[in-house]
């Protein structure tokens, strides 16, 4: 029953089999309606600023629940994962001679930002943990992380192979050497149950347009208490200060009754210190609506009982077709990749038959979500069989 109800909120399911959530999730009706309603209100009544402030706080609360954070005040609302990461890094202090350890399976943002730090002399070295057969062995992290490692940055789930990193074990290695663990959870939040406290995550970043089924232009940063106590923002703005608009709203103040004191700088004591300026509030309207939907139907918490079954059915059947699955199946999330000699040809054939997947160099990436059905997986497999026979 929950599945049919959830699908009724996602218009695309009536038109095609959508299996590219790792690229961009389909926008929910809830998100689209929330954006339209906010714009209609703005157009007819003027900017609903106080409502926007309330919804930013509400969005932080929903996101905190999705990752089991200590408090919504550990959450910063930002315009995307890259913005969130760079805002966080700009507030960190690095000791001379520090190195950073990253994974070769990370999305490029999670590598380029650290090369940029090195180019300015803020860190000495970027150490890249190399993957073997689609994953990075824990022994590689143990080899690279030392007493000069400032932080370890690892994607929660790899966009390349779909490997679900052993975040808790990596965090333990990092912490034993005095390093922080930061993870990009873009391919995890919304589809997997996440517990940042259990996993020992010091900071987590994500955007909302993939598995959270929201629009572009919104994202979040979680910062744990220990790391947050050490942050010293190098940049700021009127939302990053202690006396920001949200804090005034929560104190039931008239927002502009007092002048903003520009004679001194006191950054916010919570994660909003990373927010800098005015948020893309329209994007957050959509993101909030989709997070409410995912929470209502307990989507991330259904991974073990439902979504995982779709993924394993797909992996088993692809293997039976004689194709090599390149996702390490002992630790996977909701992404399956497999080798194919002509990935773009296969993807175009599937697209003509209203099945959406993502071609990558030498592989096909398929990424079902909890709104997908076993029938949709079987439709994909039937089409792959047909293409193989005809080519």
Two tokens, residue 354: 């209203």
Average confidence (pLDDT) over 319-335? 95
What whole-number distance in Å separates Cα of residue 196 and Cα of residue 68?
A: 6
Residue the block writes with tokens 């689609």? 134
CB 41, CB 52: distance < 8 Å: no
Question: Of all residues in the chain, what percent carry a pLDDT higher than 90?
Answer: 99
Quick one: how many helices (H) and strands (E) in the chain?
14, 12
pLDDT at residue 391 is higher than 90: no
Q: What is the mean pLDDT of the chain?
A: 97
What whole-number distance in Å separates Cα of residue 69 and Cα of residue 132?
A: 32
pLDDT at residue 233 is higher than 90: yes
Two tokens, residue 278: 């005015």
Average confidence (pLDDT) over 299-316? 97
> Of all helices (H) and strands (E), which one includes residue 84?
helix 81-90
Q: What is the pTM of this model?
A: 0.95
CB 64, CB 200: distance < 8 Å: no
What whole-number distance in Å separates Cα of residue 31 and Cα of residue 296?
A: 14
What whole-number distance in Å separates Cα of residue 335 and Cα of residue 345?
A: 20
Contacts (Cβ under 8 Å, ≥6 apart) of 118: 124, 125, 126
CB 82, CB 111: distance < 8 Å: no
Q: How far is CA 6 from the centre of its chain?
A: 21
What whole-number distance in Å separates Cα of residue 207 and Cα of residue 217?
A: 8
Residue-wise pLDDT for 238-282, tens only, equals 999 999 999 999 999 999 999 999 999 999 999 999 999 999 999
Give the β-pairing of 180-184 and 149-155: parallel
**What pLDDT, on a 0 to 100 scale, did the predictor assign at position 110?**
85
What whole-number distance in Å separates Cα of residue 183 and Cα of residue 390?
A: 43
What whole-number distance in Å separates Cα of residue 122 and Cα of residue 276?
A: 22
CB 164, CB 331: distance < 8 Å: yes
């Amino acid at each position: 029953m929950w599945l049919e109800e959830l699908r009724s909120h996602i218009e695309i399911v009536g038109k095609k089999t959508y299996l590219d959530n790792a690229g961009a999730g389909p926008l929910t009706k809830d998100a689209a309606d929330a954006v339209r309603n906010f714009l209609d209100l703005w157009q007819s009544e003027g900017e609903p600023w106080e409502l926007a402030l309330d919804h930013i706080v509400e969005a932080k609360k929903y996101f905190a629940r999705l990752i089991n954070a200590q408090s919504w005040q550990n959450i910063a609302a930002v315009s995307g994962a890259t913005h969130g990461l760079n805002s966080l890094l700009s507030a960190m202090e690095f000791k001379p001679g520090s190195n950073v350890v990253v994974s070769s399976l990370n999305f490029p943002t999670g590598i380029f930002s650290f090369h940029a730090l090195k180019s300015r002399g803020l860190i000495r070295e970027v150490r890249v943990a190399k993957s073997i057969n689609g994953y990075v062995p824990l022994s590689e992290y143990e080899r690279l992380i030392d007493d000069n490692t400032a932080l370890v940055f690892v994607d929660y789930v790899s966009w390349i192979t779909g490997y679900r990193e052993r975040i808790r074990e990596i965090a333990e290695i990092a912490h034993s050497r005095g390093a922080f663990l930061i993870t990009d959870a873009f391919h995890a939040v919304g589809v997997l149950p996440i517990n940042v406290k259990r996993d020992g995550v010091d900071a987590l970043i994500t955007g909302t347009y993939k598995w959270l089924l929201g629009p572009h232009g919104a994202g979040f940063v979680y910062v744990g208490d220990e790391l947050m106590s050490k942050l010293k923002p190098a940049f700021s703005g009127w939302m990053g200060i202690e006396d920001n608009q949200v804090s005034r709203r929560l104190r039931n103040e008239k927002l502009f009754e007092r002048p903003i004191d520009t004679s001194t700088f006191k950054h916010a004591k919570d994660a909003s210190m990373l927010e800098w300026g005015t948020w893309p509030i329209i994007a957050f309207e959509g993101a909030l609506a989709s997070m409410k939907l995912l929470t209502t139907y307990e989507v991330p918490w259904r991974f073990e009982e439902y979504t995982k079954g779709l993924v394993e059915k797909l992996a088993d059947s692809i293997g039976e077709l004689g194709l090599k699955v390149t996702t390490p199946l002992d630790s996977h999330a909701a992404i399956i990749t497999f080798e194919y000699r002509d990935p773009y040809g296969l993807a175009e054939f599937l697209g003509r038959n209203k099945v959406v997947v993502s071609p990558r160099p030498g592989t096909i990436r398929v990424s079902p979500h909890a709104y997908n059905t076993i029938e949709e997986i079987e439709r994909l497999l039937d089409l792959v069989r047909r293409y193989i026979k005809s080519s």
